[in-house]
Structure 1
Amino acid sequence: MSDENPATPSATFEPRLMLGDLLFESLPGEEDVIAQVSDVPGDLGVAVEPVAGKEGILEVRIAKFGAIAFLTLIDAPVPDHEAESNAHQLYCQGEDRDRISTHKAQILVAVPPEFTGDAAEQVADLSAPQTQLIAARVHGMLTMALSRLPGLVGYYSGSAAATFGLPFLHQVVTGQFGSTPWPLWVSAWLRPEAEGFSGYTHGLWAMGHPELQVVNASISPEDLFMYLMDTSAYLVLEEGEFADGQSTGRNAEELFTLHAEPWVVDQSVPAFRIGM
């Protein structure tokens, strides 16, 4: 982003804890959780064991990535109806939202962006977004494993601040959006305006990229949503970068100018407004 735009927050991204919450009808047994996580395919060197003196907390070590994750088994719903209040406007409505509202237990997955052994030396030279993506992929791997447990009703994403219903979660973990479950970390939200639709992403900054936003776009809401999601995928998976004043689009006929400005949700977070 350009330093010449005084309206742009001068925020610096640092890798952060990756959080996500799988929601269940009832709490799975600890042995079942350990079995599912230990059965992750590939020669990753996964080891799972209870944390001494901490009931309901499991430590997961993944040797290949030098990563440590923590699973917290909670025999209670997310407090204050937070999960259903953040039901995604497209991927958690109707019966999906009803199921979320009746969940009784959760497994919180936490992955710090910290690495040990040979992996730590490799990560040391990576950018902050690249380091975050590794932590996110470890988180995604564990989420995919735990999604095989019975009684699952949905997923509450910490980074996307959104709850997703079971059908969408299954689409993601079965690879319908690619091998990396990135739509669990970043999503788009739309709202109708007097003329057209406005929209914004939620979760890009948690992955090390400025958020995206659009004001009064004249394209259809379906096209706007897909544009925001396609652009998010480019930034997260292909390590894309944007600059203030740059023109971008998915093809030569679709070019829009980017304007650096504060994010509509949180003025301290940087964003790019797409001039549609």
Structure 2
Amino acid sequence: MDLIQQCQLWNENDEYQKIIEAIEALPTDEQTPELMSELARAYCNLAEVDDRELYEKAVALLQPHAEYFKDDYRWHFRMGYAHYYLQQIEEALAYFKKVLELHPGDEYAQEFIDDCQELLGETSAEVDEYRGAFVGFVLLAENAWNKEQLIQDLKSEWEIEACEEEAHPEALVFSVDKMIVAVSLMSAPIPEHEAEENAANNYLWPQAVETTKMHQAHLLVAVLGKKASLIERGKLFVKVIAACCRQPSVLGVYTSGTVFQPQFYLDSAALMKENELPIFNWIWFGLYQGEQGVCCYTYGMRVFGKDEMEVLDVEAEPLDVRDFLVDIATYVLSNDATLQDGETIGFSADQRLPISRSEGVSLPGMTLKIGYEELSEEDGEYPEELIDCADFHLQSLQEKQLPIEELNAYNHLAIYLRWHIEHDHLSEDFSQQYEDMLTLFKTDPWRMDLREFLREELYGLLLLPYFDEESQDFARYYYGDSTPSFPADIDDYARQYFGEEQYHSEEFEGEAYLFIPYGEEYYQKMAQIIDQRWEQWQQAKS
């Protein structure tokens, strides 16, 4: 095995330091162009996203051999890769395009090309809002910006450190958790009156069109990074745009098919500080009067890899229809759900709203048409897969101003989920998605608070798809208003724990179960009861 082959083996095993030590130990006359290319790759692979020195070393090693490797797509890829992480995007784009010329169909090169083009604000058949492209425009009344203020606002409002590798008066480029953020001052209005035309869609802001006409320049904001989830990229995008909204001459935010009022954008973004998704920053919920009734559509779901949705020609209050679509969009994004043609969705056990997929009416491309039905007072606000939601219990806690932590609203949901984790009753999809958490939790259940996981990762929801098929049937049997039921067993335990007199006292205001201390004793008592209910259910089936 020669050294080149050995380097390839080390590279496959992520042993980059061995490659560096072996090649650098060779005499200069034995350091061939091929070995220099391998050394450069090792430096690139060893580097962190912001490790500028190692990427510069890679370029220095590769550059002298440009003529030798002019037809080698690997050399061009390595040059493009190093320039990309040096944030020299134009140079990187040229190298990655050469890779595709020499090696057609290279998927990795195409991904980098897409990112580079998004970052440079280019438009092409490969780059639009359908490829996870978080790109938006902050409209300015003057051709000027306060870059230092933006850096300060990112830090003070969102604890984001905008550390530049190379300072530029008209751009701010920095990295956050393997994502790249670029904010660039564009010294002209958005061409062809595009922003003004889309501002007309904002029925919440009567002055949107007239205000938008006043813009003389704009900030182009882009967030890139395939290694981060779409949700994380989307959150970072909203935070950066919100910070830009604090610029002195800001007029509006052009994104998601409309122009938002700056204060509306700021208020909606603030929901992230309460652990809520910024749905109204991501998605525009368009409303208009059709020939036969109210119509509503989403604009922005495709950025997250989801179909846009429409409700067409219904007799209802416009804002009721909008809120209906908001609930569905929130459910889809919160749970990474995919709605399919021919399926149904519902907000109660008895509701079955049809879903169809066809050419869009309100906007181009294929969209999901959701059947609309006004909710009765007893109907809930969540899809039919719902088992329980912490919001129900959190609302009681807040309305009655109970003197306990809000995390207590998640107590019994955490107990139910833990029992199923310990009995390996989870669905394959859920187990794969949260594999790291489950491994950690099984090793030491009290090393992490499962209630926080429910709040921050599952948005306070217990859904049937989290569990395997047998456990879904068990939940339908045990988690509801029938007898026996898990909520009733929780309530009975509270009565036993506090005693009848205290259980019925004014102190608890009918919510004694929220006051039970969360801990191992509570879990073990309830786990024994769930064991019994499971056995009873199994016997009843046989």
Amino acid at match of 1:193: G
AA at the equivalent of 2:322: F
CA distance in 2, matches of 1:98, 1:110: 26
Supply the distance in 1 between the matched residues of 2:166 and 2:251 (Cα, whole angstroms): 25
Q: Does residue 100 of the first structure (1) align with residue 216 of the second (2)?
A: no
Number of matched residues? 240
**Partners of 1:192 and 1:14 in 2: CA distance:** 27
1:38 deviates by 4.3
CA–CA distance in structure 1, aligned partners of residues 369 and 203 of structure 2: 22
Q: Please give the residue correspondences for 1:8-27 in structure 2 after superposition, counting only pairs within 5 Å.
A: 15-26=131-142, 27=144
Q: 1:171/1:38 Cα in 2 relative to 1: closer, same or farther (>3 Å)?
A: closer
The residue aligned with 1:226 is 323
The alignment yields a C-alpha RMSD, in angstroms, of: 2.6
SS in 1 for 2:151: helix
Aligned partner letter, 1:180: L
Structure 2 counterpart of 1:240: 337
Measure how far apart 1:102 and its partner are: 0.7
Distance of 2:203 and 2:130 partners within structure 1: 30
Letter in 2 for 1:171: D
Question: Secondary structure at the residue paired with 2:225?
Answer: coil
**1:110 to partner: Cα distance:** 0.5
Following superposition, the deviation at residue 100 of structure 1 comes to 1.9
Kindly report which structure 2 residues correspond to 1:206-225, keeping only aligned pairs within 5 A, or say none: 206-225=303-322
Q: Check conservation: 2:283, 2:300, Cα contact below 8 A.
A: yes
8 Å contact from structure 1 (residues 205, 211) kept in 2: yes
Residue 39 of structure 1: how far off its partner (Å) = 3.9
CA distance in 2, matches of 1:254, 1:77: 48
1:1-276 mapped onto 2 (5 Å cutoff): 15-26=131-142, 27-42=144-159, 45-50=161-166, 56-62=170-176, 65-87=177-199, 88-94=201-207, 96-115=208-227, 123=228, 131-157=229-255, 160-175=256-271, 179-252=276-349, 254-264=351-361, 265-267=363-365, 270-276=366-372
Cα distance change on mapping 1:189 and 1:76 into 2, 3 Å:
same
Distance 1:177 1:252 in 2: 32
In the TM superposition, residue 257 of structure 1 has moved relative to its aligned partner by: 0.8
* Deviation, structure 1 residue 204: 0.7
Q: Distance in 1 between matches of 2:248 and 2:210?
A: 18
Bigger radius of gyration:
2
Deviation for aligned residue 1:111? 0.9
Deviation, structure 1 residue 79 = 1.9
- Contiguous gaps of at least 5 residues in structure 1: 1-12, 116-122, 124-130
1:228-257: CA deviation from partner (whole Å, max 9, x where unpaired): 122112212332221222221333465411
Deviations 1:75-101 (A, max 9, x none): 32222222121013323323x432222
1:11-37 CA-partner distances (Å, limit 9, x unpaired):
xx9843210111122221333333333
Counterpart-to-counterpart distance in 2, 1:204 and 1:144: 20
Report the Cα distance in structure 2 between the residues aligned to 1:45 and 1:176, rounded to whole angstroms.
18
> Is 170-179 or 131-140 further displaced after alignment?
170-179
Alignment partners' CA distance in 1, 2:193 and 2:130:
30
- Greater relative CO, 1 or 2 (CA 8 Å, sep 6+): 1
Distance 1:167 1:97, change over 3 A: farther
1:22/1:108 contact within 8 Å kept: yes
Percent identity over the alignment is: 22
AA aligned to 2:219 is I
Are the aligned partners of 1:261 and 1:271 in contact in 2 as well (CA < 8 Å)? yes
* TM-score with structure 1 setting the length: 0.76
Normalising by the residue count of structure 2, what TM-score does the alignment of the two structures yield?
0.41
Cα pair distance change 1:208/1:171, threshold 3 Å: same
Superposition deviation, residue 166 in structure 1: 2.7
Counterparts of 2:218 and 2:155 in 1: how far apart (Å)? 19
Letter in 2 for 1:166: P
Q: Would you tell me which structure has more strand in proportion to its own residues?
A: 1
- 1:236 and 1:147 map into 2 onto residues whose CA distance is 25
Q: Is the 8 A contact 1:38 1:47 kept in 2?
A: no
